Chains A and B, each alone.
Chain A
Amino acid sequence: MEPIYQYAWLIPALPLAGAMIVGLGLISFNKDTNRLRQANSIFIVSLLGAAMTLSFALFWSQLHGHEPYTQMFEWAAAGDFHLSMGYVIDPLASLMLVIVTTVAFLVMVYTDGYMAHDPGYVRFYAYLSLFSSSMLGLVISPNLVQVYIFWELVGMCSYLLIGFWFNRKAAADACQKAFVTNRVGDFGLLLGILGLYWATRSFEFDVVGTRLQDLVASGAIPGAIAALLAILVFLGPVAKSAQFPLHVWLPDAMEGPTPISALIHAATMVAAGVFLIARMFPMFEGIPSSMTVIAWTGAFTAFLGASIAITQNDIKKGLAYSTMSQLGYMVMAMGVGAYSAGLFHLMTHAYFKAMLFLGSGSVIHGMESAVGHDAAYAQDMRMMGGLRKYMPITSLTFLVGTLAISGIPPFAGFWSKDEVLGATFAANPVLWLIGYLTAGITAFYMFRMYFMTFEGKFRGNDAAVKQTIRNEQLQAMGLAFGPGAMDPRELTMEAAHEEEVHSDDHHGHDPHESPLTMTLPLLILAVPSTLIGLVGTPFHNYFEAFIHAPGETVQLAAEAGQETLSEFYVMAGSSVGISLIGISIATLMYLRHKIDPGAIAAKIPSLYQLSKNKWYIDEIYNELFVKGSRRLARQVLEVDSKVVDGVVNLAGLATLLTGEGLKYLENGRAQFYALIIFVAVLGLVVFSGIT
């Protein structure tokens, strides 16, 4: 089995090679490369397929108890400082490799259908391949510096892909917001890594953890500093995994093409934060206060995301908030020490959320033929309805995903979410209560989404709905530009928008089912979304036996006895119960229309507005940070050009005037220099005469 380990570096290298070859082609022979559309995509998909095969082989080998394998080479050195890079293949890495390659593979296949008519088809594949490479590099990183490197690279890919349709203003803003917000997290992560290196003289995950604990135990480092370092490191995952307060970029990131939302912003990159917590688990575990912070951040984010998702009308935004909420569950699980449960949820969520997003992409694709290529209409659930009739496969798979995320047995999400909740209950009942209530809300908003999209009758031709959306959009635009801001681009935006809507000639048809390249990945993803939970049942937890925290012995349920199992039945029963309540309310409101959602919203307007406006967090940040930093920058520039420049010029001028230098300068530089050198040499003669 050794050779496959020796060649494990090929897993990130293959997609990288694909991206580079196609990228070079795009730069040097743009026209020809773009003409060979599918040749490029087949090339890239097959390279990723090879990486996937290799990943499965490694996974299989790890499953059979192969020793973890590490390969290193020296990367940077200065004096007695040496920094090595390389890769490590252990159960966690091999699991992540399989998750990333499978989802990426299916998303790439799907992309062929989704982006078929896009002029940037080839470029999109190049970016996708680059992202896959960075993400795969991230999961096999053996130390913190390498994690940081790939951490930033996936962030860069996310930036490029969110801004893929760069002519859209919203996409341009969103990609920058994503990168900068992530940089705030990276700021913490970088400081944390530096601090940990200062304290432990190491970048290795386990060495850092054990040494830090030793240092705290021996009193060489105060516990508070250790906790601070841990929290700084945690800031990285907070940004990457869209946890409060750095979650603001994720919903906006939905401006990118939908395959990206599925791959990067649902299944893989955003889970990198959870992955990093898992890698650094030996460190976090030893610092209880940091664990508390992690757990509460996760719980609050789970609730925050769910509470916003209730009122979203954009199908992708709704899913984005749901992703944020589910990531909250994973982080919370990590925070209460439920290592395996958190990663189990990461795995199940990767599959069912990728499927949900791809499903939403399929819906948007179908809607575009009915309402035109305008994201505002094609993604708004108020324009949808009754799509089950038109898109049976999409609706079926979406239903599977909805059931999975709502925690209905035997779908995947049930097992993992239940394990998370069970572990949380054992650690802290308050946290459990938050998670438990959030599970109910989750079931509600997901079924609301399903019913609004696929049930009832099609509303795509309803002029009144269209007008409402248009008004909302204008209002939002006005807010963004500020009333009377006189931004010249406001007018061009308007014009561009009108043009976009009217130049569309082929809308007005019925929505249609997507092509096979899109539905096939959906169908394939439905399989793990349904079944993969079964590897982690409390009756026989294969998952935990394979993935468990370093240094932790696995206690199988069979040994733990009947007590744990009966506990499981109570927990599972209650969480299924609250999910069913959520589903029932959603049914009454959006399927049977027995309850009018508008009436409820009117009854509690403040809460409704709070949720609809995302708790006003964007507005607050805009006032505080965006405008604040702009103001500060302008002030510094003022000072620079008026004060600093003036003072230094004046000082220089004064010296020159006293030396009558200016006069000589006008006559020519030669004399000026002669004078200067003469004076200086004279000064030196005097100087040496004195000493």
Chain B
Amino acid sequence: MLTADFPWLTTIILFPIAASLLIPIIPDKDGKTVRWYALTVGLLDFALIVYAFYTQYDFSNPDLQLVESYPWVPPLDLNWSVGADGLSMPLIILTGFITTLAILAAWPVTFKSKLFYFLMLVMYGGQIAVFAVQDMLLFFLSWELELVPIYFLLSIWGGKKRLYAATKFILYTAGGSLFILVAGLAMAFYGGEVTFDFRSLAAKDYPLVFQLWIYAAFLIAYAVKLPIIPLHTWLPDAHGEATAPVHMLLAGILLKMGGYALIRMNAEMLPAAHATFAPALVVLGVVNIIYAALTSFAQRNLKRKIAYSSISHMGFVLIGIASFTDLGLSGAVLQMVSHGLIGASLFFLVGATYDRTHTLMLDEMGGVGKQMPKIFSMFTACSLASLALPGMSGFVAELMVFVGFATSDAYSLTFRIIIVCLAAIGVILTPIYLLSMLREIFYGPENKELTSHEVLVDAEPREVFIIASLLIPIIGIGLYPKLLTQIYDSKTIQLTARLRDQVPTLALQQSQKPVAMNFSEPVQAPAIR
């Protein structure tokens, strides 16, 4: 009945959006029916995602699969074209997973709950569309589409400064997406044939100068999203004001769009420019790691602290993308998935803690571990995951990036040594801010001022379930990383080969790759810098 011809991805994208349109007519007196409805839709769509990839997707094939393409607005040459490869598939699964959990995390939302779940379901489809579409105009549209619900989710349900945060978020991201549009159109119109299709765009032969301009434009847009310092300042504000479920989406999925697009467009479509820009990406990555870790350490606001830690972790994605090794690129993808899980879990716990203490300031907490042992232990576990404890996914991802970059033959030895040493400082800084945070929230004698006017109840089963659902893949990947890497690594290998072809010295090497151990490798001539 359901065959390969079935429009899997289209269904996956449109089902939640279509379902969201029914929300206004659902009879919902006490605001409890609609959340079950949304959760059911989320689960069904997630099941659909898993089923589609499990039955229809060939993991060893690096090319685009589940492809569908229908002409949509022929005069504009706009096609509805979707597909999935090793880059988008893990992120689509992640999106389905995190969004469903975010709907569950939004259980206590009672204020305008219909609108809230409507927006959540629209987000669901919009986010997947970003990862699945294979057409530049379509990509731009879905990129924009997913901003609108987030804007409302921030500005209606956020904290005290929600309007400021939402406006800042929309200005930054919309400002960034202008660059996508301009650069995308330029690419589409370049040469004789006008096309928006990703694969045709990637196949075009652009001159280097053109590539560099386009690359820079894309980089600005995605640097806002990922974010890359100094275009990150919207993030602490937005994250500082968002409620827990929105937070989970922001950290778990939206940041990954930046990384995904950076790989999809900058690296895959503009490989020659990538070879030029790569060292800059590495440097930006290191700046992200150290700078954000330091700011996180100094933050006294819990949400902003975690927000900065997200920025810090995204630094590894940048280094991985620019490493020119299978391992590094694979590590970058893994880091995105891993941070999606870990970031979502931490932000959920921050929300859960806030629900009880009603403060985000660390100075006003202290010693709450005694009354909330379950939240304490879950918070500890997720913080340990975030500081890249072995046995959890973050460690594997960072290790892969480290080994990948350290052994990358695209950079000179000195450059590599400096970068690896600096990035490794992050290994010291991360536990400092995360453990200080735990200490200030949970450890020590109880803060009498807090306990006198707040009732601190421990985690309810729903909350334990959400964290458990996130921790199981985190630990599963940590214990056996091949679980995840093997489903996408045919793609990263193919992409790395393409990228390496553009680095002159590496391309030469590729053709005469030594089979045996090469002892002279360490003193090899540098390719870049």
Contacts and interface: CB of A to CB of B under 8 A. Distances in A.
Interface in A54-78: 74-78
A183 B327 contact: no
A167 B181 contact: no
A569 interface: no
A53 to B, nearest CB: 26
A164 to B, nearest CB: 11
Contact of B482 (A76, A166, A656): A76
Contacts of B384: 156
B315 to A, nearest CB: 15
A220 B521 CA distance: 9
Interface stretch (B112-120, B228-236, B250-258): B228-236
Interface in A184-220: 184, 186-187, 190-191, 194-195, 197-199, 201, 211, 214-215, 218, 220
A218 to B, nearest CB: 7
A214 to B, nearest CB: 7
A669 B148 CA distance: 10
B366 A489 contact: yes
Name the residue in A166, A201, A488, A629 with the highest tally of chain B Cβ atoms < 10 Å from its Cβ. Answer: A166
A152 B175 contact: no
A81 B445 contact: no
Contact of B403 (A163, A194, A644, A677): A194
A221 interface: yes
A167 B445 contact: yes
B108 interface: no
A361 B377 CA distance: 27
A633 B427 CA distance: 16
Interface string B448-476: 11000000000000001000000000000
A670 B174 CA distance: 12
Interface stretch (A384-392, A438-446, A681-689): A681-689
A558 interface: no
A673 B148 CA distance: 12
B186 A167 contact: no
Given A169-B444, A652-B171, A684-B186, A633 B295 contact: yes
Contacts of A152: 389-390, 395
B446 A78 contact: no
Interface string B471-498: 0000000001110011001001100100
B295 A75 contact: no
Contacts of B391: 149, 153
Interface in A610-651: 629-630, 632-634, 636-637, 640-641, 644-645, 647-649
Q: Tell me the dominant secondary structure on chain B's binding face.
A: helix
Contact of B519 (A80, A167, A215, A691): A215
Contacts of A681: 185
Interface string B168-203: 101110110010011001100110000000000000
Interface string A647-691: 111001001100000000100010001001100110110011001
A173 interface: yes
B122 to A, nearest CB: 16
Contacts of A687: 186, 189
Contacts of A186: 427
B1 interface: no
A176 B435 contact: yes
B428 A220 contact: no
A198 B325 CA distance: 13
Nearest to A672: B174
B486 A636 contact: no
Name the residue in B189, B435, B520 with the highest tally of chain A Cβ atoms < 10 Å from its Cβ. Answer: B435
Given A79-B325, A186-B427, A637-B295, A149 B390 contact: yes
B485 A220 contact: no
B356 interface: no
Given A183-B427, A186-B427, A629-B432, A78 B400 contact: yes
B431 A183 contact: yes
A273 to B, nearest CB: 17
B439 interface: yes
Contacts of A76: 396, 400, 481-482, 485
B496 A79 contact: yes
Contact of A167 (B367, B390, B482, B517): B367
B424 A633 contact: no
B172 A198 contact: no
B485 A78 contact: yes
Contacts of B481: 75-76
B492 A78 contact: yes
A148 interface: yes
Nearest to B325: A79
A163 B298 contact: no
B390 A78 contact: no
Interface size band for A: 35 or more
B294 interface: yes
A373 to B, nearest CB: 15
Contact of A77 (B291, B420, B489): B489
Interface string B400-444: 101110110000000010001100110110011001100100111
A115 interface: no
Name the residue in B431, B442, B493, B521 with the highest tally of chain A Cβ atoms < 10 Å from its Cβ. Answer: B431
B431 A180 contact: yes
A92 B376 CA distance: 39
A655 B445 CA distance: 52
Contacts of A179: 431, 435
Contacts of A632: 294
A220 B377 CA distance: 50
A78 B182 contact: no
A493 interface: yes
A183 B144 CA distance: 42
Nearest to B179: A680
Name the residue in A150, A175, A636 with the highest tally of chain B Cβ atoms < 10 Å from its Cβ. Answer: A636
Contact of A79 (B376, B390, B493, B517): B493
A680 B187 CA distance: 13
Nearest to B233: A645
Contacts of B448: 492
B319 to A, nearest CB: 13
Given A76-B481, A79-B496, A198-B406, A163 B443 contact: yes
Contacts of B260: none
A159 B326 CA distance: 35
A172 interface: yes
Contacts of B22: none
A184 to B, nearest CB: 6
A684 B190 CA distance: 10
Contacts of B420: 191, 194
A180 B330 contact: no
5 cross-chain pairs, A with B, having the tightest CB-CB distances, nearest first: A79-B326, A172-B443, A149-B390, A633-B298, A637-B298
20 contacts: A76-B400, A78-B485, A79-B327, A79-B489, A152-B390, A153-B389, A153-B390, A153-B391, A167-B367, A169-B444, A180-B435, A183-B431, A187-B428, A194-B406, A489-B366, A496-B445, A629-B432, A634-B298, A637-B299, A680-B185
Given A78-B400, A492-B447, 12 more contacts: A30-B373, A74-B482, A79-B493, A160-B380, A166-B370, A168-B444, A180-B435, A186-B427, A194-B420, A195-B406, A220-B520, A652-B172
Interface of A: 27-28, 30, 74-81, 145, 148-150, 152-153, 156, 159-160, 163, 166-169, 171-173, 175-176, 179-180, 183-184, 186-187, 190-191, 194-195, 197-199, 201, 211, 214-215, 218, 220-221, 488-489, 492-493, 496, 629-630, 632-634, 636-637, 640-641, 644-645, 647-649, 652, 655-656, 665, 669, 673, 676-677, 680-681, 683-684, 687-688, 691
Interface of B: 144, 148, 168, 170-172, 174-175, 178, 181-182, 185-186, 189-190, 229-231, 233, 291, 294-295, 297-299, 325-327, 329-331, 366-367, 369-370, 373-374, 376-377, 380, 384, 389-391, 395-396, 399-400, 402-404, 406-407, 416, 420-421, 424-425, 427-428, 431-432, 435-436, 439, 442-449, 464, 480-482, 485-486, 489, 492-493, 496, 517, 519-523
